[in-house]
Each structure stands twice: as structure tokens, then as C-alpha cells.
Amino acid sequence: MNTKPPVSLTIDDLKQQNLIVLDTVSGSKAYGLDTPQSDTDTRGVFILPQDLYFGFNYLEQVSSDKNDHVYYELGKYLKLLAKNNPSSIELLYAPGETIVYRHPLMTMIKPEIILSRLCRDSFAGYAMGQVKKAKGLNKKVFNPISEQMPRPFDCCFIVEGDRTIPVEEWLTKHQLQPERCGLSALPHVKDGYTLFYADDCNNDDVRFNGLFRSDANQDKSRPSQDVCLSSIPKGMQPRAWLVFNKDEYSRRLRDYHEYRQWEQARNPDRYKLTLEHGGGYDAKNMMHTFRLLRMAKEIATTGKPLVRRPDREELLDIKSGRFAYDDLMAKAAEELRQIDACYAISNLPDETDDHKIEQ
């Protein structure tokens, strides 16, 4: 059996083997939105050697670890263009000063067979996705979740007359210990249980399992998500009726884990900037929202997007957090309304001509 590892290429390999047909400076330096702190990103297109292209080791993309240098295989690039993908169209309209190298082959790709009404969704739709990201960050910034993992206790309630009270409060009020409680499923009541207490039994040897599994016997990272039932002696009288809101507990647990993952994955510098400007949103994401919205409108009205932004100062003001969150939301909604009006009367085709792109 052949156990040789699959062949792969690095960006250095692409350069050394002269496989790159388009190499550009991308990102903020292409948009004209760079600052002294900006890194240099690159993006481009490459062709594969025949043995890789036709073999089992076809590669559609070669990227750096941080994805700040990305190169698409030519066929993959054309497929992205056919979908009016914003990043691929930006390469097609890359400003001359950002082009490191362009092979004559690339001149065969004609913009007039690429741009279509699909740009409304690919540019503006993606932009509004960035708005949703900003909303999500806004929620996380102003609604931090405690480092203490949610407890099932917090979603358990005792039925007392015509009201319910938290089980922990009820146990404290009656000076009862949760580990001496025993539960039995309450028939015909979803997530309802009859609660018994060991001291009420005449047999001193009776031991109940408690409300939930003992902390000593469970993985702290995977807490019990259900109550623990006990064997109840015949004829024993219950102390109370308990309801466990499992749906609410699952939601809290999910929110807790999502928040912890977000904490680990967030860019510390951008989060620090978010806190400093006090708007509660990712200002860099918001800047790109408006950049994409305006490029979508330019395609509808002029037939091409301006990669190098003429509205640099305003976009940098957005990046610096100088605008209130609600004002930006209203502004984005208005710009989207204008975009829809422009596409309604645009001469752009409904979609790209895949046959011509393929040829």
C-alpha cells in the first residue's frame, strides 16, 4: 500500500516554480485605507503543474497560516468570478500600483462578461452580513457572560401554590440538603418530578441520589444536563413538586460555550479598540461594511467598482469609532435602499455568462 503523504505547495513553491500569473498587494493597502500599523497582504492567481492539476492532489488555493497571503488556482478563480465573489472581482480591478506581476494570460478575462446583478447580493449581501457580525459583537461586549458555568440548579423550580420559586431558595428556606433529596418522574408532566427527602423515611439506611450527579463524579467541562432519579420506598410522602426547565438550561449552556469560544478567538487588538471607542461594535468590520455597500452601488451605476477608495477619510473615521452604533445601522439601511433602487434600473445582466467564462 502506498503511504506517501499527499503533495502540497507553499507560496514560496509557487514563486520558485513561476506558477503565479497574478500577484497583487491587497487589503487595506489596495483600498488606500492603510495606516502606519497596517500589514502588507497579498492575493493572486496561480496555475498548477499538469501532474497536480490532473492527479489526485489538485489544489484550489494556497494560503499562509494567517490567510493574509492567498492565491487561487486559475480554475477556482474563474469559478469565483462567475459567482461575482467580491475578493475575486477586486483582483480583476486591482489598481495598477498594487500589481506586482500580471501574466498576459490574465488579459483574456474581460470584465464585461463578469459583472452582473449578482453583485447586489455578493457585495451588499456580504456587507449586511458584516453588520450582523457587528450586532453580535455589540451584544457580547455589553452582555458579558460570567466565567462560572451555568448550573442545572439555576433552572429548577419548586411549585408552591400558584407560583414557582428557585429550588436553591426553597432548599435554604427549609434547611434541606440537595444530596439527601430523591426525585421520581411525575407522570404526564413534561420535566416534572416528585421530590422526596431522606429524613422523612423511617428506614435510616435509605440513601437517595440527590438532585443531580455529585460534582465529584462528573467532568466539570461536561456538567450533568438532567436530573438524577432515585428509588423511592413504597408509601413515602413527597415534600414538593419540582420542574426542571431543560430548554432554558441548554440555552444558557450553549451561550456560555459560544461566549468562551468567542473570547479565545477574538482579535485582542480589535477588541481593545472596540472597548476604547466605546461604541460596542467591531469598527473595522463596520468600515468594510460601508466599503462593500459603496462598491456594490458603483458596479450598478458605473459598471465597475473602485478598489482604491475615494471616501478614505470617512471610512477611516468609521474604523476609528467616531460614529454611534445606531446611526451607522440607520446609515447602512439607507445605503442598502439606494443600492436596491440602482440595481432595479441597472443595465447589468441578471447573471454572468458562464459559457463565455468557461471558454
Q: How confident is the model at residue 32 (pLDDT cuts 50, 70, 90)?
A: very high
pLDDT at 321: 83
Which contiguous run of DSSP H or E holds residue 192? strand 192-197
pLDDT at 202: 81
Q: What is the pTM of this model?
A: 0.63
Please name the amino acid found at residue 143.
N
With a pLDDT cut of 70, the percent of the chain lying above it is: 86
Q: What distance, in Å, lies between the first and last C-alpha atoms of the chain?
A: 40
CA distance to 274, 333, 334, 343, per residue, from 339 (Å): 28, 10, 9, 6
Distance CA 214, CA 348 (A): 66
What is the secondary structure of 19-48 as a DSSP string?
-EEEEEEETHHHHT---TT---EEEEEE--
Do the Cβ atoms of 22 and 102 come closer than 8 Å? yes
Mean pLDDT of 242-267: 83
DSSP-assigned letter for residue 155: G
pLDDT at 193: 96
- Phi, psi angle pair for 337, to nearest 5°: -65, -45
pLDDT tens, residue by residue, 63-101? 998 889 999 999 999 999 999 999 999 999 999 999 999
Do the Cβ atoms of 191 and 228 come closer than 8 Å? no
Which contiguous run of DSSP H or E holds residue 317? helix 312-319
Mean pLDDT of 164-185: 94
pLDDT at 324: 83
What's the mean pLDDT when you consider all of the chain?
Answer: 86
CA distance to 166, 168, 241, 301, per residue, from 186 (Å): 18, 20, 8, 66
- pLDDT of residue 216 exceeding 80, the answer is no
- pLDDT of residue 153 exceeding 50, the answer is yes
Distance CA 308, CA 29 (A): 9
Distance CA 41, CA 68 (A): 5
Strongest mean pLDDT among 201-205, 258-262, 264-268, 277-281: 201-205
**Nine-digit cell at 115?**
459583472
3-state secondary structure of 171: helix
Strand-pairing partners, residue 63, are: 70
